[in-house]
Structure 1
Amino acid sequence: MTGTTLSEPKRLLLIDDDPNLILLVKDYLEFRGYEVITADNGRSAMEILNKEIPDMIICDVMMPEMDGYSFVKQIRDDARTNWIPVLFLSAKGQSQDRVKGLSTGADVYMVKPFEPEELVAQVESSLKQASRLMQQQTRRSDSTPKIKVPFDVELTPTEMKVVQLVARGMSNREIAEMMNVSQRTIESHVSSMLAKTSLHNRTELARWAIESNKA
């Protein structure tokens, strides 16, 4: 078995409403050793994500049913999927289009048409970066004592969303703007969670959320 690898192939979710592009990109990525799942819009992709989690997502921006922006916002708000690297494909190549795509939550923004080799290079780079981050988090968790909280802590759905955003490094003001509520309301939710968990500050709350897989 010399020269073969025993590791599982990386699984990619490819989302685009152009069947020809889907076919070409899927064939090219599979030829390079990746396993590729496909969907023709964001809504179909969400159904796939309810059943399985890919290692990376390649997503068109302009699609029917649910476009790329709405799709990425949803996966970034979900603790199960917010860590997945996302590469946007778009026919729009203006600076403001790139800024909007990246600020929405994409990690990479590529303009159509693109060279297949460049796509593969971006995929490999994103997967390596995600692997390094996961290794770094593992080393930190191994060397740093875990946050201890009462075992029976239960958060409300709103508190869950707030703590996920806290763990992403967002301020109370930024969270309030995203959730369309007052900053005082967010401060109240944070105070409630600190009381429930017996933690002392937002930093500890963020660490606990990450260590307990809530974010």
Structure 2
Amino acid sequence: MKDNLQKESKKLLLIDDDPNLILLVKDYLEFRGYNVISAENGKQALNILQQEIPDMIICDVMMPEVDGYSLVQQIRENSQTSSIPIMLLSAKGQSQDRVKGLNIGADVYMVKPFEPEELVAQVESTLKQINRLKGQVNQEGKAPPTIQIPHQVDLTPTEQRVIYLLAQGMANQEIAQSLNVSKRTIESHVSNMLNKTSLHNRTELARWAMENNLA
């Protein structure tokens, strides 16, 4: 009962141009106690985000007008929405497709078709990780501590700075501005660190950084 009461305050934005998928996923999420807002495409989603800030966004990749990749980029470049966790849904399951989705700023990449229960579990896991990170983030303005790198993972000095800022909740664009480099450079560093650590997304990378005193 307590768990459901906590979920009722969690608002999710579900974006997909397939009405059947929206109905199916929305039913599962609402049954688990979430408040779900839906949008048929990226343009409609951007209009909703001007009025409401959800706790998490679940978005299809292949959509008309504004596709999922473009939508994620716009969300990450907006300071009002840049920290919202995002799950991408796609029928493309190749490694390069996953890497692209994660590099542009998605926290989770799920391949269609999927079991609704698995999606719900991913949503719950991501929100729990985000809440944990929020409780551990250093106070704003605090100087970065000396970073101790575990011996099994060899990060470059630049990667150390990137992962510190990533763990503070900064988007790739914000990190790029902070380090005075291009966003593509930051995306490359994030991709390299995911490969080195064998982690799956930015959220796991940030959590790993916290647990290993990298942030």
- Written as runs of structure 1 = structure 2, the 5 A alignment for 1:24-63 is 24-63=24-63
Matching residue of 1:104? 104
Number of aligned residue pairs: give it.
Answer: 158
Structure 2: stretches of 5+ with no match in the other structure? 144-170, 187-215
**Structure 1 residues 57 and 48: alpha-carbon distance in aligned structure 2, compared to 1, 3 A threshold:** same
Q: Distance in 2 between matches of 1:94 and 1:87?
A: 17
Q: Distance in 2 between matches of 1:30 and 1:81?
A: 23
Q: Distance in 2 between matches of 1:113 and 1:35?
A: 23
Q: Distance in 1 between matches of 2:174 and 2:46?
A: 24
Q: Distance in 2 between matches of 1:49 and 1:57?
A: 10
Larger Rg: 1
Q: Distance in 1 between matches of 2:75 and 2:24?
A: 26
- Residue 84 of structure 1 aligns with an amino acid whose one-letter code is I
**Structure 1 residues 172 and 38: alpha-carbon distance in aligned structure 2, compared to 1, 3 A threshold:** same
Q: Distance in 2 between matches of 1:176 and 1:89?
A: 22
Structure with the larger RCO, 1 or 2 (CA within 8 Å, 6+ apart): 2
- Contact 2:76–2:172 (8 Å) recurs in 1: no
**Structure 1 residues 66 and 28: alpha-carbon distance in aligned structure 2, compared to 1, 3 A threshold:** same
SS of residue in 1 equivalent to 2:84: coil
Q: Distance in 1 between matches of 2:136 and 2:62?
A: 35
- Residue 124 of structure 1 aligns with an amino acid whose one-letter code is E
Structure 1: stretches of 5+ with no match in the other structure? 146-162, 179-215
Superposition misfits of 4+ residues, deviation over 6 angstroms: none
State yes or no: 1:141 paired with 2:139. yes
SS of residue in 2 equivalent to 1:29: helix
- Contact 1:79–1:164 (8 Å) recurs in 2: no
**Structure 1 residues 94 and 164: alpha-carbon distance in aligned structure 2, compared to 1, 3 A threshold:** closer
